[in-house]
Chain A
Amino acid sequence: MKRSWLYQAALLAAAGLVLWFFAWNTAHNLETRKIASGFGFLWREAGFEIGETGAIAYGAADSYLRALGVGLWNTFRVAAIGVVFATLLGTLIGLARLSPNWLLAKLAGAYVEVIRNVPLLVQLFFWYAIISENLPGPRDALQPWPGVFLSNRGIVFPTPWSTPVLSGFNFVGGVTLTPEFAALLVGLVTYTAAFIGEIVRAGVLSVGRGQVDAAYSIGLARRAALRFVVLPQALRLIVPPLTSQYLNLAKNSSLAVAIGYPDLVSIANTTMNQTGQAIEGIAIIMAVFLTISLSISAFMNWYNRRVALKGARQ
């Protein structure tokens, strides 16, 4: 007992020493190369525009801090919407794969195999190319619905207080869903849904055959049996791996940078490049993603405890 304590303490001390060496060496190297350090740059004027700023008012005269805030908002927006749609689509795929309908089951199977075996980055380029190369320019925009315009600048919806009008180069007014956001969202949702589908299928299959037979024997239809008997039990197995998929989706959103969606990583990269403060920028990215991931984990663990069997080992 005593000896194991000694080992632990020695290991901790060694780890601390290594960390201290890295920190010292970095500071020393920055100093000898006269590279600026510290977080003071966050309050300087950013000087660059951001394509979509969401709920945050932002202009080139605002600070780097505010620019990073816009990036964080954009990351959060795509991750939150993505998680909801990926869960819905994934559940449908998982159930479809178990469907007695042969065609539906095979189609769902093919979907899973194709989507999860192609790298996400390639899929993002694919969706982005589909949107930007196939849709017409704003002057020849399609009108799938009166007042709604579909072009290679995205989809513009009217709102109760503003109607989109073509003025000069582009539409003014209304709410725009940009091609970058759409491509990223579709890419993340379809990709993650393939994995969630398999998790749902595994969860459903884990529920004993006897449970299903019992449900049918008391007169429940297939849909009701699924909803009241199978899914509640399956959730216990589904939730823990589902958490990893949510974490993956949130982290994968950083691939946005490749197709020009201004997420946190994209803004932080630009900031690092304009200020030269790579270490601080990376530290911010790491801190933010750690916070997002830990929050998702905490919430899912709480939910898992709720659906788990009482007294079960966690």
Chain B
Amino acid sequence: MKRILSLTVGFALLGAGGAYAQGTLDTVQKKGFVQCGVNGGALAGFSAPDSKGVWKGIDVDLCRAVAAAVFGDANKVRYTPLTAQQRFTALQSGEVDVLSRNTTWTITRDTSLGLNFVGVSFYDGQGFMVPRKLNVKSAKQLNGATVCVQPGTTTELNLSDYFRANRMTFKPVVIETLPEVLNAYFSGRCDVFTTDVSGLVSVRGSRAPTPADHVILPEVISKEPLGPAVRHGDDRWFDIVKWSLFAMIEAEEMGLTSQNIDQQASSKDPAVQRFIGATGDFGKMLGLDNRWALNIVKQVGNYGESFDANLKPLGFERGLNQLWNKGGILYAPPIR
């Protein structure tokens, strides 16, 4: 099936033409929705449909924020579930307008893959999960282990690097879809499952038959700044997605929430006045309505609200993903 997809993507590149000449914003406005590429493996907390089939998660909230900024309606999004291997070609070929799929920002992806990362929506790092009964306390004890991993990820490369650097060997079992690779791990085909720590916490909380039977080892072996990406060559669209993310972070720093943003019209704070579009012309500069940021916060919420709604219930700590003035490293440039 994936071969078919890759072929389709190949043909899309063969045939794609004028549609992008007029810019992604025009295309999006004409069709009336944002096509957003998300994690198809149902990664709880990042992007997964709930029991009613509504997509939820912080990656999904970014898609909704872009729709709120562009249309003033956060629901004008359509989702394309993608595997790790499908995601880049889907964005390159124009199948999706935004890729918001827990994707690590690296130099290769930013340059030769033809993507532009708009920023970091989640600071992560790669870790290892093992069954408690193996009694492993450190990743340094994993010599000779069989490791389940998904292909086409930075995870796969970091894994090789880590074992090479520590002069250890391992056997990879590489399976593409998240449900299948988790089956292999939970059935004992592998000793270890590795992915970003966020992913480990998420699957341990939502997929493990008994979460307490699995431990996440203390070593975090890489930097994984996860963020949304757009295609090269469309600066206007790049700006819109970038500032949609920044607006969510800035709103948290300014104390603006979906609950109180409506009462800010009378605020005397000039920064708040600029944010809600009462003064300044920042929306116009983006090619949008001046109430773009207000719509994002009102309909989607600020970064902290999104984190609390999606990740906190699964046991995530804010950690690095706290605001810069509260001990984390989240920092948005000023809206002015």
Report Cα–Cα, A30/B231, bound state, in Å. Answer: 12
A60 interface neighbour in B7, B160, B187, Cβ under 8 Å: B160
Known: A169-B146, A172-B144. A282 touches B157 (CB 8 A): no
Whether, in the assembled complex, B13 has its beta carbon less than 8 Å from a beta carbon of chain A, the answer is yes
Whether, in the assembled complex, A301 has its beta carbon less than 8 Å from a beta carbon of chain B, the answer is no
Which residues in chain A, 273-295, are within 8 Å of chain B measured between CB atoms?
A: 273-276, 278-279, 281-282, 285
**Proximity string of chain B (70-99) to chain A, C-beta cutoff 8 Å, 1 when within and 0 when not:** 000000000000001100110010000000
Minimum CB–CB distance for B193 against chain A, Å: 13
Which residues in chain A, 133-160, are within 8 Å of chain B measured between CB atoms?
A: 133, 137, 152-153
Report Cα–Cα, A30/B17, bound state, in Å. Answer: 11
Minimum CB–CB distance for B174 against chain A, Å: 5
Q: Do A275 and B112 touch (CB < 8 A)? A: yes
**Proximity string of chain B (119-159) to chain A, C-beta cutoff 8 Å, 1 when within and 0 when not:** 00000000000000010000000111110000111001101
Which residues in chain B, 184-232, are within 8 Å of chain A measured between CB atoms?
A: 184, 187-189, 191, 231-232
Closest residue of chain B to A272 (Cβ to Cβ) is B6
A276 interface neighbour in B112, B171, B174, B233, Cβ under 8 Å: B112
A-B interface pairs (CB < 8 A), number: 153
Contacts of A133 on B, CB cut-off 8 Å? 187
Whether, in the assembled complex, A313 has its beta carbon less than 8 Å from a beta carbon of chain B, the answer is no
Q: Do A60 and B164 touch (CB < 8 A)? A: yes
Contacts of B10 on A, CB cut-off 8 Å? 278-279, 282
Report Cα–Cα, A165/B212, bound state, in Å. Answer: 31
Which residues in chain B, 92-117, are within 8 Å of chain A measured between CB atoms?
A: 92, 108-109, 111-114
Known: A22-B15, A47-B160. A35 touches B174 (CB 8 A): no
Minimum CB–CB distance for B164 against chain A, Å: 6
Q: How many residues of A contact B (CB 8 A)?
A: 51
Known: A61-B164, A278-B10, A279-B10. A260 touches B3 (CB 8 A): no
Whether, in the assembled complex, B161 has its beta carbon less than 8 Å from a beta carbon of chain A, the answer is yes
B14 interface neighbour in A26, A33, A179, Cβ under 8 Å: A26
Report Cα–Cα, A260/B174, bound state, in Å. Answer: 5
Contacts of B163 on A, CB cut-off 8 Å? 49
Whether, in the assembled complex, A217 has its beta carbon less than 8 Å from a beta carbon of chain B, the answer is no
A5-13, A72-80, A191-199, A251-259: which lies at the interface: A251-259
Known: A25-B15, A258-B176. A33 touches B3 (CB 8 A): no
Q: Do B14 and A51 touch (CB < 8 A)? A: no
Report Cα–Cα, A29/B14, bound state, in Å. Answer: 8
Whether, in the assembled complex, B278 has its beta carbon less than 8 Å from a beta carbon of chain A, the answer is no
Report Cα–Cα, A297/B181, bound state, in Å. Answer: 36
Whether, in the assembled complex, A163 has its beta carbon less than 8 Å from a beta carbon of chain B, the answer is no
Known: A49-B172, A132-B188. A167 touches B144 (CB 8 A): yes
Which residues in chain A, 1-53, are within 8 Å of chain B measured between CB atoms?
A: 22, 25-26, 29-30, 32-36, 47-51
Closest 10 CB pairs of A and B: A273-B152, A276-B113, A36-B112, A60-B160, A35-B114, A260-B175, A132-B189, A33-B114, A270-B151, A168-B144
Interface residues of B (CB under 8 A from A): 2-3, 6-7, 9-10, 13-17, 20, 84-85, 88-89, 92, 108-109, 111-114, 134, 142-146, 151-153, 156-157, 159-161, 163-164, 170-177, 180-181, 183-184, 187-189, 191, 231-233
Interface residues of A (CB under 8 A from B): 22, 25-26, 29-30, 32-36, 47-51, 60-61, 125, 129, 132-133, 137, 152-153, 167-170, 172, 179-180, 254, 257-260, 262, 265-266, 269-270, 272-276, 278-279, 281-282, 285
New contact pairs (10) apart from A32-B233, A168-B143, A276-B108, CB-CB < 8 Å: A48-B157, A49-B159, A51-B171, A60-B160, A129-B187, A132-B187, A132-B189, A152-B188, A278-B10, A279-B13
